[in-house]
């Protein structure tokens, strides 16, 4: 079974990436209730379960049934390349009542009626207020502490995809977003596993205004999509390196590397094997952002690091020469 999306010429020409804290929040909450999908995030799951002990999120849970659907209005297509969580929560709060009711009715068809779902139908504005409070609390307890690390992984994924698109074309890049996604001749086909009683053949045609591509570290291997008329078309996919964001302890640089570059620059080169912005690198190394900036300037002069701006941050990573150098010292 497949969901088929007919692409117009303008859609492929206007592929735009975005980072969404709200989408990450929603999928991370769903992950906590799917033990079979937690393999990449055991340390986060353990820490967050402790932070969330004795807390319940009934208005969020009501939007995420066990089947392959969640309410569209809790994962609206990002309106910008980067948004903060409060901006995205305001968009959810402004969801029209008819959209809330339509989404909830679909969930009820799939998973049955509950008291909370009846509240959404009868008093959507009140229910949205309760939902926003839950989303904000979950963000504070489960994700805010880790967001800079998660964002770094997402930015690195976007950089990789953008380079692949530039070098090999949009068709090749899109086909590499997930094993269940195929693109050919202006047709996107998303393969789905369905029960015999489910209708899983869908066909929709886009208008040529573009598609948002949104990576996430908490998504399972399956592609998700958004083609509801209230929002811009969107494809959500699993980011490369999704299991690396929680991080391991910073490795000590090899003695030879320290001998050549000194302790500070050697540690920074080691840290740059996982790219990041200045504050992120400073946090990993336990030094000030100013000290990191000084060392980055020297390494940049030597051609060992490169940078790119994305949203509010400038991200640094090893250049090709820097990667070759690190491989030499590792050998």
- The DSSP code for 55 is -
Question: Which pLDDT score, from 0 to 100, does residue 1 have?
Answer: 60
Note whether 294 and 307 are same-domain residues. Answer: yes
- Bridge partners of 226, per DSSP, are 234
312: CATH: 1.10.10.10
What pLDDT score does 250 carry?
45
Domain boundary among 228, 243, 258: 243
Let me know whether 289 and 232 are in one domain.
no
Q: Could you tell me if 230 and 283 lie in one domain?
A: no
In total, how many domains does the chain have? 2
pLDDT tens string 174-210: 888 988 888 887 888 887 665 554 556 667 777 777 8
Domain boundary among 243, 258, 284: 243
224 or 245, higher pLDDT? 224
Together in a domain, 153 and 231? yes
What DSSP line would sit under 199-225, residue for residue? ---EEEE--SS-EEEEEESS--SS-EE
Considering the chain, what is the average pLDDT of its residues? 85
Contact assessment for residue 285 and residue 292, using Cβ atoms and an 8 Å cutoff: yes
Q: Is the pLDDT of residue 75 over 90?
A: yes
- In this structure, are 178 and 117 located in the same domain? yes
pLDDT of amino acid 200: 61
User: Are residues 143 and 192 located together in one domain of the fold?
Assistant: yes
Which pLDDT value is given to residue 29?
95
- Of 243, 276, 292, the last residue of a domain is 243
> In terms of domains, do 101 and 176 share one?
yes
Is residue 224 located within the same domain as residue 255? no
DSSP secondary structure of 136-196: HHHIIIIIGGGHHHHHHHHHHHHHHHHHHHHHH-HHHHHHTS-TTEEEETTEEEEE----T
β-bridge pairing 234-238 and 276-277: unpaired
Helices 278-285, 289-301: crossing angle, 10 deg rounding: 110
Per-residue pLDDT tens digits for 257-293: 888 888 888 888 888 877 788 888 888 888 898 999 9
pLDDT digits (tens, 9 = 90+) for 104-162: 999 999 899 999 999 999 999 999 999 999 999 999 999 998 888 888 889 888 988 98
- The whole-number pLDDT of residue 330 equals 66
Q: Tokens for 264?
A: 């500070």
Same domain, 179 and 271: no
Answer yes or no: do 100 and 226 share one domain: yes
Instruction: State the residue range of the domain holding 35.
Output: 2-243
Same-domain pairing of 265 and 191: no
* pLDDT above 60: residue 87: yes
CA distance 56 to 133: 12
Residue 230 has pLDDT above 70, yes or no: yes
Residues recorded for the chain? 331
- Tell me which DSSP letter residue 274 carries: S
pLDDT at 126: 98
134, 200: one domain: yes
The answer to whether residue 102 scores a pLDDT higher than 90 is: yes
């Amino acid at each position: 079974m497949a969901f088929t999306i007919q692409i117009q010429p303008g859609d492929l020409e206007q592929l735009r990436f975005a980072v969404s804290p709200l989408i990450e929040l929603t999928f991370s909450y769903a992950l906590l209730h799917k033990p079979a999908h937690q393999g990449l995030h055991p340390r986060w799951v353990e820490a967050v379960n402790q932070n969330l002990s004795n807390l319940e999120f009934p208005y969020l849970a009501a939007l995420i049934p066990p089947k392959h659907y969640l309410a569209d209005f809790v994962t609206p297509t990002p309106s910008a390349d980067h948004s903060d969580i409060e901006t995205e929560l305001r968009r959810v709060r402004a969801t029209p009542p008819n959209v809330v009711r339509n989404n909830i009715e679909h969930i009820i068809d799939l998973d049955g009626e509950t008291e909370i779902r009846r509240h959404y139908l009868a008093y959507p504005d009140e229910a949205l207020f309760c939902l926003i409070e839950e989303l904000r609390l979950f963000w504070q307890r489960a994700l805010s502490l880790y967001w800079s690390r998660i964002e770094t992984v997402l930015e690195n994924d976007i950089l990789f995809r953008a380079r692949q698109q530039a070098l090999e074309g949009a068709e090749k890049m899109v086909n590499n977003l997930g094993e269940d996604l195929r693109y050919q001749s202006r047709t996107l086909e998303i393969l789905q596993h369905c029960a015999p009683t489910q209708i899983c053949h869908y066909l929709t045609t886009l208008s040529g205004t573009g598609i948002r591509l949104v990576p996430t570290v908490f998504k399972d291997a399956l592609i998700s999509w958004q083609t509801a008329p209230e929002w811009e078309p969107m494809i959500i996919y699993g980011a490369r390196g999704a299991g690396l964001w929680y991080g391991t302890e910073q490795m000590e640089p090899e003695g030879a590397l320290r001998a050549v570059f000194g302790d500070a620059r050697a540690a920074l080169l080691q840290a740059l094997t996982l790219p990041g912005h200045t504050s992120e690198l400073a946090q990993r190394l336990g030094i000030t952002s100013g000290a990191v900036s000084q060392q980055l300037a020297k390494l940049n002069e030597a051609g060992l690091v490169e940078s790119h701006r994305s949203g509010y941050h400038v991200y640094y990573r090893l250049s090709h020469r820097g990667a070759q150098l690190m491989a030499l010292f590792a050998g």
